Chain A
């Protein structure tokens, strides 16, 4: 399972199957500024990383989040990490 998609789906309250790398605030109504902060918090807890405000401001789609997480060396697929 893709843990990133699972977190995005839970925070935005959308079906996990609907989440793709193109999922962004422009196409998902529930992705407002509060949801964006919740997403930042949830990603930090889920992947045990610290994101900077700059990271948070760049996270404008699931694909961009994936790229930032990759830079941090985070494995997103279940079983990959630890």
Chain B
């Protein structure tokens, strides 16, 4: 076996006799180029049968998962024991899978009054928080906690729905408690098992025989379903999501060819097949709200296609929903390269969706780093195909994500101002920039981690710290700053991060310094690094060192230390020195800087 593509995996029968031999082959290293991922899995049930499903389903994501399973229903014993198998090989991800049946028999039993429910929830929270802290004390790996599916039995039976405290409500509260715990802890995420059970259906989810024989609660079908979804979470935990979805038009956003059938002749509306395309468009809008950028690469007459986007009453996507539009007769690979240039993102940030197998193949060949979705023949399958590809699986969605398309459209206005300005200074002055800089705390941590994870270009060291690692740096005395930048066209959001830490007595080093590509070339780095210099000097240090680690993409950051008055220490451009006593603090006349919270 040389490879295992998504289409191969989707065709498999959900049976151990199919998945076990394939999982063995993957584990034996038969498929090259996979990234190993160690997962420590603690469960309140027998979870080992999930292994072949997780291993096989994670393969199309380029992952080779190695799972360690804790003994049945042991959490604290394993978590608190530094010599536990959970840590013997340092895990990349720790999964805590509790079912409500084992975690709180009282809640699972149902028909309890509110005060008992509150007590149960409080002790459940205390227990799970203890587990999270226990894991955190021993590893910085992200933690994935299963939320609670409805139990198989409803305690009050048919009457549950009319009780003052229905069981379903208590379980929702328990899940809200888990979500709150995840939001307020670093590197903790929720595996939405509740949603998964609903998707498959409670009747198909549970297997009484397997449960009574071996404490395996799930049917083989459910096991595969869990493995498939878990693979998406693992992928989302370790890889930055893609940024932009490049779409074809004819037979993708609507049925038929607008150039031949005319605006009135295409299928798009409330009747099948037009309703399937409209539903797909609605889904694409939901992706846009998650922060995905939409673009068009279509072979068409621009006038015909734009008429649909502007005027068709059932076209939900309008020209302003797209950050880049390439309609013409260029080949698609050229259009895709143009989108990447225009958005200033790497080609590996793009996803391509086109009903034509020929176009998909040519893009795949030209740009292997673009994720090309296997589009099924029927528009009924479009949404699932895109979801299964996991290209836009965000485990958190920030305010910056939600308004990303607007941000790019503001960027277009900035670009036109830039073209009108006669020199760069005039442009920077005309932007009327204001920066806010503050210390990283729990309200900004997730966004900071997100920027560290995905910023490639203006990033001096490309260190991908997770939340737990930042917390550790802070505990060790580091300074971590965020920066927001506004200008006359809008708020660019939290787009800069700097971390400095003491290296030895009175010598500090810049651990990380990055700017989102949106604000490169605006001297914002001078504002941010300037405050790092000031704060390090105030700490009594004598010297601040800057480090530049070249990557395939971070050339734009190569000169930042030289530009800010640092002196080269090695002639290679790797290490730079700023003297806290004699050095001038980097500044910029174009940005009004405010330090928030002192």
On A, residues with C-beta under 8 Å from B are: 6-7, 10-11, 13, 33-34, 37-42, 44-46, 51-53, 56
In addition to A34-B49, A56-B213, 14 A-B residue pairs with Cβ atoms within 8 Å of each other are A6-B17, A10-B20, A11-B16, A11-B17, A11-B20, A13-B20, A37-B210, A37-B216, A38-B17, A41-B210, A41-B220, A45-B13, A53-B213, A56-B209
Chain A: minimal CB distance from B18 (Å): 7
Type the 1/0 row for B83-124, where 1 means its CB is closer than 8 Å to any CB of A.
000000000000000000000000000000000000000000
Select from chain B the residue with minimum beta-carbon distance to A37: B214
- Secondary structure of the B side of the interface? helix
Identify A7's interface contact among B17, B48, B209, CB under 8 A.
B17
Q: Is B16 touching A38 in the complex (CB atoms < 8 A)?
A: yes
**Interface secondary structure of A, over-half rule:** helix
Chain B residues whose C-beta falls within 8 Å of the C-beta of A40 in the assembled complex: 209-210
Interface flag for B507 (CB, 8 Å): no
Chain B 12-27 interface mask (CB, 8 Å, partner A; 1/0):
0111111011001000
- Of the candidates A13, A34, A39, A51, which one forms a contact with B24 in the assembled complex, judged by CB atoms under 8 Å apart? A13
Is B21 touching A45 in the complex (CB atoms < 8 A)? Answer: no
Q: Point out the residues of chain B lying under 8 angstroms from A33, CB to CB.
A: 214
Given known A53-B209, A53-B213, A56-B209, contact A42–B24 (CB-CB < 8 A): no
B216 x A42 contact (CB < 8 A): no
Give every chain B residue within 8 A of A13 (Cβ-Cβ): 20-21, 24
Least Cβ–Cβ distance between A74 and chain B, in angstroms: 15
Which residues of chain B have C-beta atoms less than 8 A from A39's C-beta? 16
Contacts of B15 in A (CB 8 A): 41-42, 45-46
Taking CB atoms, residues of chain A closer than 8 Å to B17 are 6-7, 10-11, 38, 42, 45-46
B212 on interface, CB distance cutoff 8 Å: yes
A38 to B13, CA, bound (A): 14
Q: How far is the CB of B127 from chain A (nearest CB, A)?
A: 28
The CA of A33 and the CA of B15, in the complex, are separated in Å by 17
Closest 6 CB pairs of A and B: A38-B16, A42-B17, A45-B15, A10-B17, A41-B220, A7-B17
* A41 to B216 Cα, complex, angstroms: 11
The CA-CA distance from A40 to B212 in the complex, in Å, is 14
Roughly how many angstroms separate A56 CA and B209 CA in the complex, as a whole number? 10
| Nearest residue, chain B, Cβ from A50 | B209
Per the 8 Å Cβ criterion, residues 17-52 of B in contact with A are 17-18, 20-21, 24, 48-49
What CA separation (Å) do A72 and B261 show in the bound complex? Answer: 58
The residue among B16, B48, B212, B220 with the most chain A CB atoms within 10 A of its own CB is B16
Of the listed residues A7, A37, A46, A51, the one surrounded by the most CB atoms of chain B closer than 10 A to its CB is A37
B292 to chain A, nearest CB (A): 37
Q: A37 to chain B: which residues have CB within 8 Å? A: 49, 210, 213-214, 216
Residue of B nearest to A3 (CB): B17
Residue of A nearest to B21 (CB): A10
Chain A residues with Cβ under 8 A from B213's Cβ?
37, 53, 56
8 Å CB contacts to A: which residues of B223-278? none
A10 to B214 alpha-carbon distance, docked (Å): 21
Contact A34 B48 (CB under 8 A): yes
* Closest B residue, CB atoms, query A34: B48
- Asked if residues A42 and B16 are in contact (CB atoms below 8 Å), the reply is yes
Instruction: Provide 11 A-B residue pairs closer than 8 Å at the C-beta atoms, listed in order of the A residue.
Output: A6-B17, A11-B17, A13-B21, A13-B24, A34-B48, A34-B49, A38-B17, A38-B20, A41-B49, A45-B15, A46-B17
CA distance A3 to B539 in the complex (A): 74
Smallest CB separation, A16 vs chain B (Å): 11
Q: In whole angstroms, how far apart are the Cα atoms of A60 and B249 in the complex? A: 59
Residues of B within 8 A of A7 (CB): 17
Contacts of B209 in A (CB 8 A): 40, 51-53, 56
CB distance from A32 to the nearest CB of B (A): 11
CA distance A66 to B269 in the complex (A): 56
The minimal Cβ–Cβ distance linking A48 to chain B, given in whole angstroms, is 11
Q: Which residue of B lies closest to A39 (CB)?
A: B16
When distances are taken between beta carbons in the complex, the residues of chain A under 8 Å from B210 are 37, 40-41
User: In the complex, which residue of chain B has the Cβ closest to the Cβ of A42?
Assistant: B17
Q: How far does the alpha carbon of A51 sit from the alpha carbon of B212 in the complex, in Å?
A: 13
CB B184 to nearest CB in A, in angstroms, measures 38
**Please, how many angstroms separate the alpha-carbon atoms of A35 and B541 in the complex?**
62
Inter-subunit contact B220/A44 (CB<8 Å) = yes
**Contacting residues, chain B, for A46 (C-beta < 8 A):** 15, 17
